[in-house]
Structure 1
Amino acid sequence: MVAQVQIPTNNEVKFIPKPDVSNLITEDDTPVDNFGSEKQQRFLTNILYNVRKEQVFLACANVGIYYNIGQPPIVPDFFLSLDVTTPPNLWEKNHRCYLVWEFGKTPEVAIEIVSNKVGGELDEKLKIYQNMRVIYYVVFDPQKYLSEQVLRIFKLMGINYQETSETWLEGVNLGLTLWEGEFENFKGVWLRWCDENANLLLTGDESAQKAEKELQELKEKLRQQGINLD
């Protein structure tokens, strides 16, 4: 595959080969640091793929982003990139992680889940995402390692991030909220998606349970009217 570059002197279009990615480290097989982070990552992706089936996006957990040739990748705990399609062959070298020059854009949202005090979420990583022009950078600190704030949201304003108390991410039509409940038999406080009115967006299991409950309620209503569906 090649990229087009316009030559201003004679208006010719010159084709320049894309960067060689054969030596890029697309995965290092390093495990996630704890069960809580792993479940939280999947919780965020599960919900989006359940409620946005008709939309085009990538929601990924623990996948590297190469944002600049010659620079090492950054690996957010979660990222969301709108209007990009999943490559047809995920095992090809140039499709095994998020290469910005392949997708043509950076993700809109990056989320880091704090699991210790040395991850650099509020300094080194913040600067990287800011330079990448990621619109929303979210730091979820359930154990309050970095501060007393469990949830911190930064929005790109001009060339710099500004921290905001607004949990509605208007640019991606999604909200974030802290929710105490159970996911995959694990109880705790979770970061999860919601709509503009703070209504929770559901996981696949929650959607199935809701549908089953509504079905049983309908059957009961019909029985009361003398209609036995059995």
Structure 2
Amino acid sequence: MTSQTKSSTAFNLLPDHTQLPESEGDTNYKSITNLPPDHTQLPDEDGRFVKNFQEHPQSILLTDAVTPLLQQRHPDNQYCIGQDCGIYWRLTEPADRGAEAPDWFYVPNVSPLVDGKIRRSYVMWYEVVAPLIVIEFVSRDGSEERDATPKTGKFWVYEQALRVPFYAIYEVSLASVEVYNLVAGKYQLVPANDRGHYPIGPLGVELGIWQGQYQNAELPWLRWWDEEGNLLLTGDERAEQERQRADREQQEKELAQQQAEQERQRADRLAAQLRALGIDPEA
């Protein structure tokens, strides 16, 4: 979230047990007339500067590289990716205090649109599916990302309120990433594999640090690999790989043509020598 005037609307609470039907087909309950706010009514920015110059390219890098894999896994396009977008998990006043805005997150098997409109936020009381993975980029000392204070700390919210299966904390200054997996309701550190990567099993990928240049910066970037350890490439990298492949094929074709021409010239010289000796080369 970045900057905008905070919403001052007083929102009603979710319906309680007296307003909900007791059993299927039950009509003897109070009509719910005041529904909780949806993504169009909640603030999508919170008035803080939270981005540095590395975080936006990092989000793009993660999304760009994993998109082909997600399109294979979701041929119906039923998934969404959030980049510094709010996940509302409780009603508060002001409203944005009831949200967390991970730098990057992925939700499987949900529509990228709501009623044909672009999502302004992800509102848990209107959703069924929680994010599969959230990623936070550390910009200070990392204490905010590891804060387990009940109801306010990011770590607690992702673990206890949202129950996100995988939580990653990336620190570019340390060239490191911590990955947590929700096991029996508590986060446990995921150990690195032999490649130094952290498997995200349900997504069929590994997360790790890649030292290299992206856009115009040489940094330890957070990147994806497949389960065989192959780096998931960005669109530009895939295009460059294809260009290099086409160049190799062209070079191989030209070399084959040169060799064929050399062989033809050699055969012509041999034929001329045979004729000089009175021998018909065709015979």
Q: Which category describes the TM-score, using the shorter chain as reference length?
A: 0.7 to 0.9
Between structures 1 and 2, the one with greater helix share? 2
CA shift, 1:27, in A, is 2.0
Q: Name the counterpart of 1:28.
A: 46
| Match in the other structure for 1:127 | 156
What are the equivalent positions in structure 2 for 1:34-183 lying under 5 Å apart?
34-54=52-72, 55=74, 56=77, 57-70=79-92, 72-87=98-113, 88-90=116-118, 95-117=119-141, 120-123=144-147, 124-131=153-160, 132-144=162-174, 150-166=176-192, 167-183=198-214
For residue 24 of structure 1, what is the amino acid of its counterpart? L
The higher relative CO (CA closer than 8 Å, separation ≥ 6) is in 1
After the TM superposition, list the runs of 4 or more consecutive aligned residues in structure 1 that deviate by more than 6 angstroms. Answer: none
Secondary structure at 2:223 match in 1: strand
Q: Which segment drifts farther, 9-18 or 199-208?
A: 9-18
- TM-score (norm: length of structure 1): 0.83
Identity of aligned residues (%): 26
Name the count of aligned residue pairs. 216
Deviations 1:96-133, CA, capped at 9 Å, x for gaps: 11112333211010111111026511122111100111
Residue 207 of structure 2 aligns to a residue whose secondary structure is strand
Question: Whose strand proportion is higher, 1 or 2?
Answer: 1
SS in 1 for 2:54: helix
SS, match of residue 71 in structure 2:
coil
- TM superposition shift of 1:50: 4.1
Unaligned runs of 5+ in 1: none
Note the C-alpha offset of 1:11: 3.2
| Structure 2 alignment gaps of length 5 or more | 1-18, 148-152, 193-197, 259-283
1:152 and 1:163 in contact (8 A); partners too: yes
1:83-106 residue CA offsets vs partner (Å, 9 max, x unmatched): 12210321xxxx311112333211
Change (3 A) 1:207 1:42: same
Bigger mean CA offset, 15-24 vs 154-163? 15-24
TM-score (norm 2): 0.69
Q: Which whole-Å deviations, capped at 9, do the CAs of 1:65-96 have from their partners, x for residues lacking one?
A: 11233461100011011112210321xxxx31
